[in-house]
Structures are given as structure tokens and as C-alpha cells.
Amino acid sequence: MKMVHPCPRTVGDGDAALYLSYTGDRRPLCWSAEFARALGFEREWLPDLLVFHVIFGKTVADISQNAVANLGYADVRFLAPVYPGTTLRAESEVIGLRETSSGKTGIVYVKTSGIDQNRREVLRFNRWVLVEKSSDAAAGDAVVPELPTQVAPAELAPPPFKLDRFSDVAWATGGARLFEDYQKGDRIVHPTGMTIDDADHTGATRLYQNTARVHFDARAMAESKVGKRLVYGGHVISVAHALSYSGLENVLCMAAWNGGNHVNPTVGGDTLYAYTDVVDAAPIKGRKDIGALRLRLVAVKNVDPNREPVETQSAEGAYDPHVVLDLDYWGIIPRKR
């Protein structure tokens, strides 16, 4: 079952400025035309995650408008820089389906592509959601797709960075640490926290034309278990990613996500903090100037990990109740010369 989602979007400077106002992102590749040009690009990029949210938003009406929960992501690829002025469309394919043990809900697996006006694929991701099952729907045969638990470093195809002039513009990131300065097992606790107001997350989520009612209808949500409008999980990713700039200043872009989970809900009034664990470091085939760091970005709510350490998961794998996001991604970072 394939579908082209409606509502294509030309994403421009204004969207980028709004993204900044919602997140406080600081990566110069997205905010300085000069910096982007010094690295060989036409101009500044749209933030990777803005592109993700716009594409994700288009899929909601067809996939997850009434989903009970977003369960996870796998094999997410950021395939090309996207510049302001690009028109994005989303196409999806249902790649799997299974009933849960209760028989009342099902899990739907979907593969989505973000495509620009020249039919170039700029983003590809898999996600799975928990949905209500119609009472009269037959169970059918379960089809569970094989999704990789990581994107192999050999498959990373980073954008055509030209780093000959990087030393001239390295001041712009404000960070001195490069590929070789991070080690497996490092934890970087990002120094600041961000309180989410309802007008922030609802504004961001409207900008992405995401129509899931759980984010917008406070009256209906007052009757839900959480009792309040839920923050779109992607906004949590964006805020955590923006907080994570301090300590990861030279991670130029996301190349891929190995996986990701929204572990607990976030609502207006929660304060988010973040830390990043360095999971792996890998060279990139054919590139002596950049490498890839496998990073686990964890967002927690209402506890400051700078003051009070958080154990992400227990030995049994149970998440700390403060953890709201567990995102495992590959970031691209310059190497020492």
C-alpha cells in the first residue's frame, strides 16, 4: 500500500527563522550563509530536523492522526542538504502490520520518503505506530519488516563537505573538539534547560502542518490520561538537539538515525534537559577530513542532570520515568588534519 501525502510545502527562510525561535538552534551551517559557503555549499541549509518535521507532518493525516502512540523509528537517512525555497512532498508505503496481544490494537510499520521538486529523495525513514483496530477487522497474517538496529558506517553518505577552508571558519562553531577528541563511553551533559510553553509546541507543530489532535485540543486532552495537550515528539527532539549544541559544536549535521523512541510524554510546563553518550566513532569511507560519531541523545524532563545524574535505563532496560527521548544517531564531524 503506497500513498502520496497531500499538502506539499515550499519551505523557506521564514520557516527556518521560526524553527530557530522555537528551539534556539545554533549550528552555523544552518544560520550563516557565509559559513555554509566556506564549506562548499550554495547557502545555509534548512535544519535537518525542520525537514524531518515537515515530511513527518504530511504523513500524520494518513498514518497517525488517531494513533495511540508513536513507538519508534529505524533506519532514518538524511540524504542531501535542503536549501530554503525547496518544495517538499512526502510519500509512504505500509511495510508491515501486526495485531498486539490484546487483539484491540495493531502496530503499523511505515516507510516514508521526503522528495523535492526535482524528485530527488532528501530524507527516508521508517516508523511504527500503535493504532486502534476496527472491531470487525480480521487479524490477518502478521507482517513484521526486518528493520536494521543501526545504519552501518559504511552506508553513511555524507553531503559533499569541502573542509579545505574549515580552519578559517572554525571560530564560527565556538567549539574546539573534533572527531578525535571524543571517545566511546564519554557522556556530555549539556549545561542548560528549556521550559516548554504550550504556545511554543503548538506553534511549531502547526508550522509542520501536523494535525494530530492530541497536540492541539486541550479540552479533549483534559479527559485523557495525561490530562494536557501532548508535545509533538519531534519538538522534543528539536529542543534536545538544540540544547546539545553545547559540547558538540563541531557536529555539522545528522547523517542518519539508528533508532529513536519517545519514552514518556512531555506537556506544556515541563522543563527539558539533555545529555549525549558517545556510543561509537567510525571513519567514513574515502574521507580523511570527516568522521562519524554515533551519539545517543537523551532528553529528560524536570530533573537537571547537571545536578542529579540520571541512569537512562535500568539493567532490565526500564527507562527512568524522567526520560522522554532516546535518540541514537550518526553525526558528521571534522577530523584533525
Does the CA dihedral 56-62-63-64 come out positive or negative?
positive
Among 97, 204, 293, 323, binds a copy of itself (CB under 8 A): 204
How many residues are there in the chain? 337
What is the C-alpha radius of gyration for the chain, rounded to an integer number of angstroms? 20
Among 99, 186, 198, 289, binds a copy of itself (CB under 8 A): 198
Q: Provide the 3-class DSSP secondary structure of residue 279.
A: strand
Q: Could you tell me if 283 and 329 are in contact, meaning their C-beta atoms sit under 8 angstroms apart?
A: no
Using rule CB under 8 A, residue 189 touches a copy of itself: no
Using rule CB under 8 A, residue 8 touches a copy of itself: yes
Q: Give the shortest CB-101-to-a copy of itself separation in angstroms.
A: 30
Among 92, 173, 264, 266, binds a copy of itself (CB under 8 A): 173
Number of helices and strands in the chain (H, E):
8, 12
Among 34, 93, 180, 311, binds a copy of itself (CB under 8 A): 34
Strand ranges (DSSP E) for 197-286?
A: 253-262, 271-284
Interacting positions 41-60 with a copy of itself (CB under 8 A) = 44
Question: CA-CA distance, 81 to 313, in Å (whole number)?
Answer: 34
Residue 79 CA, chain-centre distance (Å), reads 14
* Closest CA relative to residue 135, chosen from 106, 99, 104: 104
Adjacent-strand bridge partners of 261: 326
Using rule CB under 8 A, residue 142 touches a copy of itself: no
Question: CA-CA distance, 203 to 258, in Å (whole number)?
Answer: 28
Interacting positions 81-110 with a copy of itself (CB under 8 A) = 85, 87, 89
Using rule CB under 8 A, residue 328 touches a copy of itself: no
What string marks each residue from 248 to 287 as x (binds a copy of itself by CB under 8 A) or -?
-x-------------------x-x----------------
Among 5, 262, 294, 296, binds a copy of itself (CB under 8 A): 5
Question: CA-CA distance, 205 to 57, in Å (whole number)?
Answer: 8
Using rule CB under 8 A, residue 14 touches a copy of itself: yes
Residues that bind a copy of itself (CB under 8 A): 4-10, 12-18, 20-24, 26, 28, 31-35, 44, 61, 85, 87, 89, 117, 171-175, 191-195, 197-200, 202-204, 206-207, 209, 211, 213, 216-220, 229, 246, 249, 269, 271, 302, 304
